[in-house]
């Protein structure tokens, strides 16, 4: 069962000057853009790996992965986004020094800033048009509400003036079950219908409640379990009597309880913990996959899902290598034990932030990784290649090849998810409506005129 999926990750951005200097974030972001596409200021830039990089609301740099049909490749391209932004930092800081503004630029892969603003990590799944979207949505909501037990990134928030550790960064910013808005009324499932494909066959499932994950494994399990549950629901394998009485209240209550003991109310009056609800979905997914003996990837996801739920029940801290909120909480508790301080110590707030620093020299997640204390899903060589090479089995390959051609010919071009256009003299537009198709005859013809062009390093 092939499925297209992708991640859109908004990053936090700040500048720490050596001295009292105010500098608009827009200027800093402009220098970062220069590192990606010299001598231009694109607001919607597609890269040679097929991904999209642009400035989102609130002046956040946002990286959208190319279309992927393989779970590990999605993890690889999500990490490539971090590396691309990290590689822009030296040039951007050099440009600032040229203007007499010494300091460091920080980019964080997180979901909240010090003022309480939030920015997201959105998941996209291509789904069948012929299924009842609203029925599937009702079935998905309890799964997404409770999935945070292994996908949450962890956060310190104040409750009645006292700092407390929460499982999820986004949970407290979700206000509705469903909505077409991504800012004014953030919902569990966004209903905006933009499939970027044949609209008679497909629609897009757009999920905006998830945290940004530093952990490769957490990203793998977060997206993998969602893809598995979506597939079983599309094929009619429903989970009966699973609707929550108040999903928005439930997502917040679960996030506030790192012991994972909190029970939330279902519509039929029962109360269940997040883990118990996840087990119901796991059991139904296992039953579903018994009818799909050749689904190797989803069976691997099912096995890891079972392992993680079991460990969360028995010993959550044993997942310190895999789960972001657990790794972060462990770091904080170790620091408090060493320094004899509490949750209100400002250094704990710094750990909360520094865990998400994408600079591998100073980010705490990468300090753990350097000591082999995090679980890897893809190797660093593959991540480095994904910075410039698109997936070879989806429409992203056509897009990436076209961009390489246009740059090699020094041609002005316009690119979107579904079309490629050469501007000016000899203007031409190429439609690419099939996200599963990695070949386009016209693009191949263009490339044939540049036999010396090396497409991939």
Q: Which pLDDT belongs to residue 29?
A: 85
Q: How far apart are CA 4 and CA 204, in angstroms?
A: 10
Q: Which helix (H) or strand (E) holds 265?
A: strand 263-265
Angle, to 10 degrees, between the axis of helix 296-314 and the axis of helix 216-234?
A: 120
Start-end of H helices in 345-440: 346-354, 364-370, 380-386, 395-408
How high is the pLDDT of residue 409? 87
Position 98 scores a pLDDT of 87
Both tokens of 309, joined, read 């739920």
DSSP code string of 348-359: HHHHHHHTTB--
Quote the CA–CA distance of 214 and 357 in Å, as a whole number.
9
217: burial class by Cβ within 10 Å (0-12, 13-18, 19+)? buried
Max CA separation in the chain (angstroms): 70
Query: Model-level pTM?
Result: 0.95
Which structure tokens are listed for 322?
Answer: 């895999």
Please give the pLDDT value at position 28: 84
The answer to whether 56 is a known catalytic residue is yes
* In the chain, domain spans: 126-355, 392-448
- pLDDT one digit per residue (tens) for the chain, 457 residues: 689 999 999 999 988 887 666 677 888 888 888 877 655 444 458 999 999 998 876 678 999 999 999 999 999 999 999 999 999 999 889 988 888 888 899 999 999 987 788 998 999 999 999 999 999 999 999 999 999 999 999 999 998 889 999 999 999 999 999 887 655 568 899 998 899 999 999 999 999 999 999 999 999 999 999 999 999 999 999 999 999 999 999 999 999 999 999 999 999 999 999 999 999 999 999 999 999 989 999 999 999 999 999 999 999 999 999 999 999 999 999 999 999 999 999 999 999 999 999 999 999 999 999 999 999 999 999 999 999 999 999 999 999 999 999 888 888 899 999 999 998 877 889 999 999 999 999 999 988 887 776 666 6
Q: Find the catalytic residue in 56, 78, 211, 324.
A: 56
pLDDT value of residue 26: 82
Torsion of CA 78, 399, 44, 201, to 10 degrees: -80
Residue 327's pLDDT is 98
- Closest to 376 (Cα-Cα) out of 228, 218, 225: 218
Per-residue burial over 374-395, b if 16 or more Cβ lie within 10 Å, else e, is: bbebbeeebbbebbbbbbebbb
What pLDDT was estimated at residue 34?
80
């Amino acid at each position: 069962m092939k499925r297209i999926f992708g991640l859109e990750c908004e990053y936090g951005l700040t500048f720490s000057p050596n001295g009292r200097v105010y500098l608009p974030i827009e200027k800093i972001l402009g220098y970062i853009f220069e590192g990606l596409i010299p001598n231009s200021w694109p607001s919607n830039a597609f890269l040679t790996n097929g991904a999209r990089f642009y400035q989102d609301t609130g002046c956040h740099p946002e990286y959208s992965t190319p279309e992927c049909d393989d779970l590990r490749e999605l993890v690889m391209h999500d990490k490539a986004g971090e590396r691309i932004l990290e590689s822009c930092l030296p040039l951007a800081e050099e440009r600032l020094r040229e203007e007499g503004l010494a300091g460091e630029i920080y980019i964080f892969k997180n979901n909240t800033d010090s003022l309480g603003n939030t920015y997201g990590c959105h998941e996209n799944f291509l789904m069948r048009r012929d299924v009842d979207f609203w029925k599937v949505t009702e079935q998905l909501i309890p799964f997404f509400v409770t999935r945070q037990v292994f996908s949450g990134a962890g956060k310190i928030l104040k409750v009645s003036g006292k700092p407390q550790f929460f499982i999820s960064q986004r949970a407290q910013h979700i206000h509705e079950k469903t909505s077409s808005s991504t800012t004014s009324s953030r919902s569990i499932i966004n209903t905006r219908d933009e499939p970027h494909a044949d609209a008679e066959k497909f629609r897009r499932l757009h999920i905006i409640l998830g945290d940004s994950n530093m952990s490769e494994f957490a990203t793998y399990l977060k997206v993998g379990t969602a893809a598995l549950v979506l597939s079983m629901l599309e094929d009619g394998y429903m989970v009966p009597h699973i609707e929550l009485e108040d999903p928005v209240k439930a997502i917040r209550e679960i996030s506030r309880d790192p012991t994972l003991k909190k029970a939330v109310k279902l519509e039929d009056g029962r109360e269940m913990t997040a883990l118990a609800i996840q087990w119901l979905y796991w059991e139904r997914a296992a039953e579903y996959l018994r009818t799909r003996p050749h689904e190797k990837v989803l069976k691997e996801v099912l096995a890891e899902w079972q392992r993680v739920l079991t460990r969360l029940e028995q010993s959550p801290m044993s997942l310190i290598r895999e789960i972001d909120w657990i790794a972060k909480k462990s770091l904080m508790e170790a620091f408090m034990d060493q320094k004899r301080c509490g949750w209100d110590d400002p250094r704990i707030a710094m750990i909360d932030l520094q865990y998400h620093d994408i600079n591998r020299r100073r980010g705490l997640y990468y300090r753990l990784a350097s000591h082999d204390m995090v679980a890897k899903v893809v190797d660093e060589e593959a991540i480095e290649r994904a910075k410039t090479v698109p997936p070879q089995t989806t429409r992203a390959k056509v897009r990436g090849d076209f961009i390489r051609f246009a740059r090699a010919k020094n041609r002005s071009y316009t690119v979107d998810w579904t079309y490629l256009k050469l501007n000016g003299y000899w203007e031409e537009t190429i439609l690419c409506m099939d996200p599963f198709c990695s070949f386009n005859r016209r693009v191949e013809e263009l490339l044939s005129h540049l036999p010396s062009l090396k497409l991939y390093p």
